[in-house]
Amino acid sequence: MRRKIVRDEGVHRLFRARHELCRQREFKTAFHGQEKAILEGFWHMARQPSHKEKTLRAFRAYVELLDTAEWLKNEVRAPLASFDLTINEFRLLELLYREGAQFVPDLARKRMTHRQRIDESVERLRKRGWVGRKAVKLPPVEFARAHLAKSMRDKPREGRRVSVVGLTRRGKKFFGDVLPTHSKLVKAFLRVLNGTEQESLARMCRKLREGDVMRFVKELTMEEVDR
């Protein structure tokens, strides 16, 4: 009886040893297939990319950004056209709806475009009754008398005339109806990103627009020499 128990224990130990050996071999086989990729990943992390690689990386990001902007514009162009709006006109209405009446030069600066393009968009929207335009005279800028030319010191000074653009009552109602529908569409497009990714995307876009003058100049003046 004792011999049988010892023999059974020996069989169990042998079985466990063979099972452990097979498990180790399976793990080694699975790891071997990933070993090369893991080592390459560590190698790329350990070394610094060359100037050429940095340039290619930046250019790929630039192309992806342009392609994404063009894709998104193409996707929203038709829905906006159903409201008889272009993308530029929608952006102008959204700015006036959010911030109220604006001077034309301020609109051009905030929309990062020429004043002539703002004038053209405002005129088209004015004909549809969605915006109003009014010329106002700004108060003259105060200067010390000594800073003025002698011929101008005794003459009354006038401020310059500028145009103020704002939404009409009809325009506010129209855009109030358009905005929820368009916002729903934009939300659907961005559902591929989670909330954190959407906030990161907005933050990176703002950072890119703000720029870094010192880094910009340094990059332009740097002599690229790869070792």
Query: Do 162 and 101 meet the contact criterion of CB atoms below 8 Å apart?
Result: no
Buried b (16+ CB within 10 A) or exposed e, 190-213: eeeeeeeeeeeeeeeeeeeeeeee
Cα–Cα distance between 25 and 19 in angstroms, integer? 10
Cα–Cα distance between 200 and 182 in angstroms, integer? 22
What share of the chain has pLDDT > 90, as a percent? 54
Helix axes 115-127, 87-99, angle to 10 degrees: 90
Cα–Cα distance between 193 and 203 in angstroms, integer? 14
183-221 confidence digits (pLDDT tens): 999 999 999 999 999 999 999 999 999 988 888 888 888
86-101 confidence digits (pLDDT tens): 999 999 999 999 999 9
2-18 confidence digits (pLDDT tens): 444 445 565 566 556 66
Q: 3-state DSSP call for residue 115? A: helix
Residue 119 has pLDDT above 80, yes or no: yes
Please state the length of the chain: 227
User: Structure tokens of 21?
Assistant: 């050996």
**Could you give the maximum distance between any two Cα atoms of the chain, in Å?**
130
β-sheet bridge partners, residue 163: 135
In CATH, the architecture of 51-140+159-221 is: Orthogonal Bundle (1.10)
For the chain, list the strands marked E by DSSP: 102-103, 131-137, 161-167
Cα–Cα distance between 227 and 215 in angstroms, integer? 22
* Distance from the Cα of residue 158 to its chain's centroid: 43
150-161 confidence digits (pLDDT tens): 666 666 666 677
Decide: pTM greater than 0.95.
no
